[in-house]
Amino acid sequence: MNIAAFIGSSRTESNSELLANEVLKGINHQKIYLKDLSIQPIEDLRHTKEGFQIVEDDYEQVIKAFMENDVIIFATPIYWYSMSGLMKNMIDRLSQAIRDERYQQFKRRLQEVETIVIAVGGDEPRIKGLPLIQQFQYTFDFLNMRFSSYILGEANKPGDILKDCQALSQANLLNKKLKMLLDPEEE
């Protein structure tokens, strides 16, 4: 079983990344830093004769991560009560990817992926982050992906997330679950 995490912050060691680290502690995984990829906003060509055109950017790495992993973590700071624009552009392009003839297995593959959302914000995230969770739910429903769990953490300054006991305790629990999935014999 393979695990990857998309990191949606523009900072390294952002609070959302740190919380993802807690979930992934002691687990072999891949990290994709969206800030280091060039991903164009989607150009909606669904309804043109030619359809979507091939875009020359790094989106292939996103596709690859979905194809090769069984659990995908979306770790994003909460900017204005929603995911970061960096992550939004990545998500938006899914509309193109699921129609791309070069990736015929992609849409079907998604249905085997289990998703986890980690979102960290400074303004009452456990309340005001709820619409974001609902949006992820609708998205995963549409794509028939399993939404296995989410953590909403609270932090403002760098590193603050490590003081959010509730988020840490949820991360810890999730870490144990993932380890059990990875190696059912061990526990």
Distance CA(132)–CA(90), nearest Å, equals: 16
Please, which residue, 68 or 124, has the CB nearer to a copy of itself?
124
Measuring CA to CA, how many Å separate 81 from each of 35, 119, 127, 149, 179? 19, 10, 10, 19, 31
The stretch near a copy of itself (CB under 8 A) out of 22-30, 65-73, 105-113, 131-139 is 131-139
- Given 6, 66, 74, 150, the residue binding a copy of itself (CB under 8 A): 150
- Given 123, 146, 163, 180, the residue binding a copy of itself (CB under 8 A): 123
Site for a copy of itself in 52-71 (CB under 8 A): none
Rama region for 5: left / alpha / beta (φ>0; ψ in -120 to 50; rest) = beta
Task: Tell me, by CB under 8 A, how many residues bind a copy of itself.
Answer: 49
Range 112-144 burial, b when 16+ CB lie within 10 A, else e: ebbbbbbbbbeeebeeebeebeeebeeebeeee
| Interface residue list for a copy of itself (CB under 8 A) | 9-11, 14, 35, 41-44, 47, 77, 79-86, 88-89, 91-92, 94-95, 123, 126-128, 130-135, 137-139, 142, 147, 149-150, 157-158, 165-166, 169-170, 173
